[in-house]
Amino acid sequence: MKPKSCLLALMLCCLPLLSGCNRYYLNNSLAPAMLADKINQPLPGLSSLSGVVKIQIQSSAGNYQLVQKLYYRQPDKLRLEIIGIFGLPAILVLIEGDDFRLFVPIKNILIKGKTSELGPAFSINDLLTGFLYGSRLDLKGGSDFKLEENDRYYRLSWLAQGYRQQATVDKKTSIIVRQEILETKTNEVVREVHRERFTEVGNRYYPRLISLYDREMKQKITFLFSSLAFDPALAEDRFQLKLPAHYEEKSLSDFMKDYGY
């Protein structure tokens, strides 16, 4: 798996659907903008987060599976460990602010650069909360709105940017559990994200299973959390990289060029 797609996969964000037997009925009493305002309320902040996630990737290039540990501490420290044989880290990624480091222990290679080299600037906190709870619902420029509901969900669809957009929202938590982008004529799925198997931890709900499908990238990525802890105490050395006496160092830009970016 290419390193950039691995990192972007981790940043991805949004939702599943528990397909129920309940029929959907038109809702004419709730304006779509009011539903969007309810969904777009500030997400619960994270002071720290730790977890273990199994990532499965199905693509035209082949199928892959890996286990990853993640550790986050506000405001901007993130450590990712891709686990290899014998339960030891095969790849370590550390991000602090805009500083990016990736270390491959078996090769003794350290890759250093800036997160801005990977794409637009981002907040790690916003990235993680968006990944767990869903992206904000932006209805600007949309048309042909249709709002339906059943006992458990709202389902909102509209036209935007040449596609049919559809979001299914859990009534209890206001979390988007499924979001789709569809071709207007054929209803073929262009992109969809699911969240399911919700677990309550304290006053938070989080999905144990998140899946993402992208037609253009010809791949489906599934994230299955075996554990997730909110606001754990994480020591400073958790975000330090212990390097061997001798190692090779490469710039992130050169490394990405080697892989065709």
CATH number of 3-258: 2.50.20.10
Contact 91, 82 (CB under 8 A): yes
* Whole-Å CA distances, 177 to 7, 46, 166, 201, 209: 23, 20, 11, 18, 11
Residue from 67, 145, 117 nearest 256 by CA: 117
Pairs from 51-56 (Cβ < 8 Å, separation ≥ 24) = 51/225, 51/227, 51/228, 51/229, 52/225, 52/226, 52/227, 53/223, 53/224, 53/225, 53/226, 54/223, 54/224, 54/226, 55/9, 55/221, 55/222, 55/223, 55/224, 56/221, 56/222, 56/224
- Residue 102, number of CB atoms within 10 A of its CB: 23
Instruction: Spell out the domain ranges in the chain.
Output: 3-258
Tens digit of each residue's pLDDT, the chain (261 residues): 444 444 444 443 332 333 344 688 887 778 888 888 877 776 666 789 999 999 999 988 889 899 999 999 988 999 999 998 778 889 999 999 889 999 999 889 999 999 888 777 777 877 787 788 776 778 888 899 999 999 999 999 999 989 999 999 988 888 889 999 999 999 999 999 999 998 887 777 888 999 999 988 889 999 999 888 888 999 999 999 889 889 899 998 888 777 655
Residue positions counted in the chain: 261
